[in-house]
Amino acid sequence: MARTKGGPRAHARHRKVIKNAKGYWGRRKNTFRAAVQAVEKAGQYAYRDRRNKKRDFRKLWIQRINAAARLHDMTYSQFMHGVKLAGIELDRKVLSDIAIHNEKDFAAIAKQAADALKKAEKKAA
C-alpha cells in the first residue's frame, strides 16, 4: 500500500490561511508561518472590536444628545431623566439621529422633558 503524506490536505490548509491574509503587508501575506500568526491576531482584534464597537457607538450617541440638549439649556442627565419622566420610549440611537436630522422634533422632545422635570419638582415640593 502506498504511503500517504497528506500533501493535498496541507496545501488546502495553507491556501486557506494565505487567502485570509490577503492584503497584509510584507511576508505576512505570502509566507504560511507569518500568515498564520497575522490571521490569528486579526481574529482576536475582530472579536474584541465587535464588542468595543457597541461601546463606541453608545458614547457617540450620548455626546450628540448632550450637545443637542445643551442647546435647550439642559445637561444630558437632566434631559434623559426628563425623557423618562415624560414617558418617551426612544433609545439613544434614535434620539441622537433626531438631534442631528430633525432639530425641530428634538426641540419638541426637549420641551416635553423640561415640562416633565418641572412637574416632578412641583410634586416633590
Same domain, 82 and 104: yes
Same domain, 65 and 104: yes
Domain that holds residue 69: 53-124
Same domain, 114 and 77: yes
User: Are 79 and 113 within 8 A, CB to CB?
Assistant: yes
1 inside domain: no
User: Are 60 and 67 within 8 A, CB to CB?
Assistant: no
Same domain, 23 and 78: no
Question: What is the crossing angle of helices 7-20 and 32-70, to 10°?
Answer: 30
Q: Which helix (H) or strand (E) holds 45?
A: helix 32-70
User: What pLDDT does 83 receive?
Assistant: 96
User: What pLDDT does 4 receive?
Assistant: 76
User: What pLDDT does 84 receive?
Assistant: 96
Please report, as a single letter, which amino acid is at residue 92: R
User: What pLDDT does 6 receive?
Assistant: 81
Using CA atoms, how far residue 9 sits from 18, 27, 34, 37, 71, in Å, is: 14, 23, 19, 20, 64
User: What pLDDT does 5 receive?
Assistant: 79
- Grid cell for residue 20: 485570509
Mean pLDDT by 10 residues, the chain (125 residues): 82 95 95 96 97 98 97 96 95 96 96 94 83
Total count of domains within the chain? 2
- Grid cell for residue 27: 511576508
Same domain, 83 and 35: no
Same domain, 44 and 100: no
What is the CB neighbour count within 10 angstroms for residue 58? 14
Same domain, 70 and 113: yes
